[in-house]
Amino acid sequence: MWKRDVSVKPTGPALVPGAPTRQTSLSSARSEFTDIRHQHERGGVNIGKSVVVRGDLSGSEDLTIDGVVEGKIELKEHVLTVGPNGQIKAKILAKVVIVLGEVVGDVTTTEKLDIRENGSVEGDVVSPRMAMAEGSHFRGSVDMKRRSSTVSSSLEQSQTSQSTLGSGLRNQTVNR
């Protein structure tokens, strides 16, 4: 019968002074996991890896996307998190955008854009604050407007395009 020798204990990896440790990557992974867990505790919604959405997406709660979204995403007063498997091809308007996956399209935030390690954004950004982690990717332009001007200009553009469209329809109706 086999008996385990308790005097021999497994040892961890030897620490070499000045050598990088796995602790750094583990702490960043824990931080990302904690952020996502807190979002779910606050009542956020999750779009899973296998979900594909094409069209306009809007809501009044925080959203995490690990799937594919194409179109427009509007979460004016909420947080959008693009998970590590998320692939977004959309125009985004949100309070805070956290990118761990891939975003292609213009991003407008009223507070902050945070591109984490391995996150990628290709498009024009309008945001009062922006953070990029080492290992992230960004290609485009950045306009760091103050919060109040960002909100008002985005709302004005939205209202102007809707009123122009609406007045054009009214004129066509009146002329007939």
Neighbours of 37 (CB within 10 A): 10
- Contact (CB, 8 A) for 112 and 92: no
Write the CB contacts of 40 (distance below 8 Å, at least 6 apart in sequence).
46, 64
For 171: left if phi > 0, alpha if psi spans -120 to 50, otherwise beta; the answer is alpha
Average pLDDT, the chain: 76
Residues in the chain: 176
Domain edges within the chain: 28-169
Name residues whose C-beta falls within 8 Å of residue 106's C-beta, 6 or more positions apart in sequence.
91, 92, 123, 124, 125, 126
5-17: pLDDT as tens digits: 555 554 545 444 4
SS3 content of the chain, % helix, strand, coil (to 5): 25, 40, 35
pLDDT band with cut points at 50, 70 and 90 for residue 66:
very high
Which of 20 and 67 is assigned the larger pLDDT?
67
| pLDDT band, very low/low/confident/very high, at 77 (cuts 50, 70, 90) | very high
Q: Whose CA is closest to 133, among 84, 168, 71?
A: 84
At 75, list the tokens: 């979460």
